[in-house]
Structure 1
Amino acid sequence: MSQPTSFTSANYAVRIAFVVELAEHLHAYGTTAQRLEGAVIAVTQRLGLDCEPWVNPTGMILSFSDPLRPPGDSDTTRVIRMPPGDVDLYKLCETDRITSLVMAGEMDIAEGHAALRALDAREPGALGKALQVLGFAMVAVGVAGLWRLPWADIATAGTIGLLIGLLDLATRDGTRLKEAGEALAGIVAGAVAILVSAFIVPLNLNTVIIASLIVMLPGMALTNAMNELTSQHLVSGTARFAGAITTVLKLTIGTIIALALAQLVGISPNVRALRPQPDWVEWGALLVASTAFAILFRAARRDVLLVMAAAASGYLISRWVGNALGANIGLFVAALVITAAGNGYARWADRPGAVIRVPGIIMLVPGSNSLRGLMTLVQQQSVEAGQEAALLVMNIVLALIAGLLFGNVVLPARKNL
């Protein structure tokens, strides 16, 4: 297919610079390897370039050539080292919009490159940072409410979530504490929960800790890793899986340190198993959790209600179908419906399906079960104690991956995002 004159006549280096900038943005916003590579290949074909991308969670290799020039005459390779991406739905949608304008010829390639670079300059102000911190607390409160914990447990989880949000804000910009951020979060969660249960009111101790740490758990990363592995992106999937496991290990290390320190100083937490809340608390908690994910995923104002609806729908579908047919079938159906809905939204709205897919899946991922299993394993020093939780995690992941795969079969995606 012949390319528009404006593309093929553009400077070769300018076209490469635009594609590299686009790839960096998609990687920074948490795009999986297969979707990022698909998006890059689609754009380079329109720009009259040959490109062989190789993507992993911590970097990319992009090899370019000009098909109109002799082989080897125009070969250019870019090796890009990047940290693992984080979901930012607003910037992802803006990146998609800018790219669409360039592909449609409504924006010059150089202008598109400048517009993408301008996105990097958009940093959240004081209000945005405060909302992000509040989002951590809201997720903890929402999840604790969904689990129908007592009010004291919900309040404790929310307080810990707020402290972890402040810790995340302090360590986000590459401070020397960043690498130990998850372990420090585990220490904070464990210490506060132990002190509250020992001196104020008994708690569902492990459950409160997990609810407060839920936002840091790599359930989405674990699901994406398995998705990449099933898509034959073996290196990226293996690396992402290892990163997810490492995060769970660091969170577990932090909580176990807090428990060990409490034991050394003679503080014994009062643990109870109680979930007394009525149905209306669960509905309110679902609203709080859905709002929190819209904040944490940095959804644009126009997308807030859509993101909230997607998050709530994923949970409700899995809950209702799970009650009728079994938990794993509920997860499978929810993942299938959400994936198909995201692909449909991308088709008909011509916007990234991630706006629906990511928040819809986040309520289903197995992060809390993986942390619970590892904590039980370490606390009881028994492999058998953690086997049940490990099997539960495996079943959840299998159900989600099956839903993602067959959701793409039911309604294939036209956009890679």
Structure 2
Amino acid sequence: MTMSSPIPLSNASYADRIRFMVELAERLHLYGTTAQRLEAALLLVAERLRLECEPWSSPTALILTFSDPQHLPGASDTTRVIRLPPGDNDLHKLAETDRIAEALIAGEMDLAMAFEAMDALDKPATRTAQALRVLGYGLVAAAVGGLLRLPWLDIAVAGFNGLTIGVFMQLAETRPRTREAVDALVAMFATAVAILVATFVAPLNQNTVIIASLIVLLPGLSLTNAMNELASDHLVSGTARFAGAITTVMKLAVGVIISLYIANLVGLQPAVRALRPQPEWVEWGALAAASLAFAVLFRCERRDYPAVMLAAASGYLVSRLVGLAWGSGAGIFLAALVMTAAGNAYARWRQRPGAIVRVPGIILLVPGSASLRGLLDLIQQQDVNAGQVAALGVINILLALIAGLLFGNLLLPARRNL
């Protein structure tokens, strides 16, 4: 049914305004918004909807308390407790949710139209979209191998593992019982493939191929978001997100170690080498491929592909070039600073979420691969010193990233919380 003009927001009931706030909070959470940005966005929207709201966010729950400022304190208090799964980055739906909220506040939509527009975001993914995501998994894994200048066989094995992992992850979405164990299962599979190839075909950079295969599942972004939330005094959310990220790394490591143990038990002896022979042009091609793959995996709109790809490539190049001159820590810090400021500038200029630039801009900087490599070194070598060195490496990356994010927001403050 079409309407000639939106009903003024002032005519919306108190219950309907609360309903919209709850719907907005759930969607921002599910689409990957961190606690401090989600709460700040909700406070701004609540003010425009003439509501008093006290939001509390964690990776698995929301608590929202509302009251009507036109009534006496306590007379209209309403509290909603919402249990949710951890969110995942979906830049298209995040941008659409932001657009709907802005249109509602501007009077271009009424609440009924806003709810209808949000419901339209829940359409199941088409087979084409699912196939693209599977290809994205494979392309990212192969591209990371190219960025590391691995031999062609290593790149091919990583790409094959990535494609298969993409299929596993699509199947797991419709099978709740397998979700808890899917990380360990795919890690077992990727490791088994690498062991078999290294045993019967040709030597591989074994651990590096395994990490490249699992790169999309590594929680580097979650670790970074967790530290960012802790730095913003969102202690409960940051601690919970950090624990979830560490648990994911442990599940992946368990899968890898099980496959290595079984291979040793049956007498397989994979040939391991350390060889990175590729010319420089392979790295450039891999960077372009990785940027395209992340645009697919972050589910951005087609019109946002150039911005997302440019952001992913720019973050990597700034980190790489500055790192060669002044050290890796300085490179990561400056890349995070530049991409945070660029995201805030994009939000001001285009009136759309800065996450479209900020998230892909730091994705190739996050310490997911370093955390898994460190845990594998610790378990394989049974050496505490190796684990300490790896932990320090992850901490150094996180500190540089968080410093860049904080100072990037100081350099160019955000006018939009998303």
**TM-score range, shorter-chain basis?**
over 0.9
| Partners of 2:58 and 2:390 in 1: CA distance | 29
My pick for the range that moved more, 255-264 or 6-15, is 6-15
Residues 186, 255 of structure 1: 8 Å contact kept: yes
Q: 1:63 aligns with which of 62, 65, 87?
A: 65
Query: For 1:176, what is the secondary structure of its paired residue?
Result: helix
| Partners of 2:103 and 2:170 in 1: CA distance | 34
Large movers: runs of 4+ above 4 Å: none
- The superposition leaves residues 147-191 of structure 1 with CA deviations (integer Å, 9 ceiling, x where unpaired) of 000000000000111111111011023421110011011101110
Task: Give, as a single letter, the amino acid of the residue that structure 1 aligns with 2:88.
Answer: D
Residues 59, 80 of structure 1: 8 Å contact kept: yes
Task: Give, as a single letter, the amino acid of the residue that structure 2 aligns with 1:412.
Answer: P
* Identical positions, percent: 65
The answer to whether residue 403 in structure 2 is matched with residue 398 in structure 1 is: no
Residue number in structure 2 paired with 1:347? 348
Residue number in structure 2 paired with 1:377? 378
Query: For 1:177, what is the secondary structure of its paired residue?
Result: helix
The answer to whether residue 31 in structure 2 is matched with residue 25 in structure 1 is: no
Residue number in structure 2 paired with 1:196? 197
- The superposition leaves residues 374-412 of structure 1 with CA deviations (integer Å, 9 ceiling, x where unpaired) of 001001111112222211111000000000000000000
Residues 160, 212 of structure 1: 8 Å contact kept: yes
Task: Give, as a single letter, the amino acid of the residue that structure 2 aligns with 1:363.
Answer: L
Residue number in structure 2 paired with 1:95? 97
| Partners of 1:110 and 1:184 in 2: CA distance | 44
RMSD over aligned Cα, in angstroms? 0.9
| Partners of 2:323 and 2:385 in 1: CA distance | 26
Q: Where in structure 2 are the equivalents of 1:357-368 lying within 5 Å? A: 357-368=358-369
Give 1:7 shift.
Answer: 3.0
Residue number in structure 1 paired with 2:182? 181
| Partners of 2:74 and 2:175 in 1: CA distance | 39
| Partners of 2:117 and 2:396 in 1: CA distance | 43
Q: Where in structure 2 are the equivalents of 1:226-237 lying within 5 Å? A: 226-237=227-238
Give 1:278 shift.
Answer: 0.4
Query: For 1:61, what is the secondary structure of its paired residue?
Result: strand
| Partners of 2:76 and 2:391 in 1: CA distance | 51
| Partners of 1:8 and 1:232 in 2: CA distance | 35
Give 1:10 shift.
Answer: 1.3
Residue number in structure 1 paired with 2:161? 160
Task: Give, as a single letter, the amino acid of the residue that structure 1 aligns with 2:128.
Answer: L
TM-score of the two chains, using structure 2 as the length reference: 0.97
Give 1:124 shift.
Answer: 1.4
Query: For 2:204, what is the secondary structure of its paired residue?
Result: coil
| Partners of 2:139 and 2:201 in 1: CA distance | 22
| Partners of 1:24 and 1:110 in 2: CA distance | 17
Residues 190, 259 of structure 1: 8 Å contact kept: yes
Residue number in structure 2 paired with 1:302? 303
Give 1:111 shift.
Answer: 1.4
Residue number in structure 1 paired with 2:415? 414
Residue number in structure 1 paired with 2:4? none
Q: How many residue pairs align between the two structures?
A: 412
- The superposition leaves residues 316-336 of structure 1 with CA deviations (integer Å, 9 ceiling, x where unpaired) of 000011111111000000000
Task: Give, as a single letter, the amino acid of the residue that structure 2 aligns with 1:181.
Answer: V
Give 1:340 shift.
Answer: 0.2
Residue number in structure 1 paired with 2:220? 219
| Partners of 1:43 and 1:369 in 2: CA distance | 39
Query: For 2:161, what is the secondary structure of its paired residue?
Result: helix
Residue number in structure 2 paired with 1:328? 329
| Partners of 1:88 and 1:38 in 2: CA distance | 19
| Partners of 1:114 and 1:296 in 2: CA distance | 26
The answer to whether residue 250 in structure 2 is matched with residue 249 in structure 1 is: yes
Residue number in structure 2 paired with 1:12? 14
Query: For 1:283, what is the secondary structure of its paired residue?
Result: helix
Query: For 2:214, what is the secondary structure of its paired residue?
Result: helix
- The superposition leaves residues 213-251 of structure 1 with CA deviations (integer Å, 9 ceiling, x where unpaired) of 000000000000000000000000000000000000000
Q: Where in structure 2 are the equivalents of 1:66-85 lying within 5 Å? A: 66-85=68-87
Give 1:109 shift.
Answer: 1.8
Residue number in structure 2 paired with 1:116? 118
Residues 51, 65 of structure 1: 8 Å contact kept: yes
| Partners of 2:387 and 2:168 in 1: CA distance | 29
- The superposition leaves residues 339-376 of structure 1 with CA deviations (integer Å, 9 ceiling, x where unpaired) of 00000111111000000000001010000000000001
| Partners of 2:210 and 2:90 in 1: CA distance | 26
Task: Give, as a single letter, the amino acid of the residue that structure 2 aligns with 1:55.
Answer: S
Residue number in structure 1 paired with 2:289? 288
Residues 58, 82 of structure 1: 8 Å contact kept: yes
Unpaired runs of 5+ residues, structure 2, are: 1-6
The answer to whether residue 70 in structure 2 is matched with residue 105 in structure 1 is: no
Task: Give, as a single letter, the amino acid of the residue that structure 1 aligns with 2:408.
Answer: G
Give 1:110 shift.
Answer: 2.2
Residue number in structure 2 paired with 1:86? 88
Give 1:123 shift.
Answer: 1.9
Residue number in structure 1 paired with 2:50? 48
TM-score of the two chains, using structure 1 as the length reference: 0.98
| Partners of 1:98 and 1:307 in 2: CA distance | 22
| Partners of 1:39 and 1:27 in 2: CA distance | 11
Residue number in structure 1 paired with 2:3? none
Give 1:257 shift.
Answer: 0.2
Residues 21, 117 of structure 1: 8 Å contact kept: no
| Partners of 2:161 and 2:302 in 1: CA distance | 28
Task: Give, as a single letter, the amino acid of the residue that structure 2 aligns with 1:69.
Answer: H
| Partners of 2:281 and 2:73 in 1: CA distance | 67
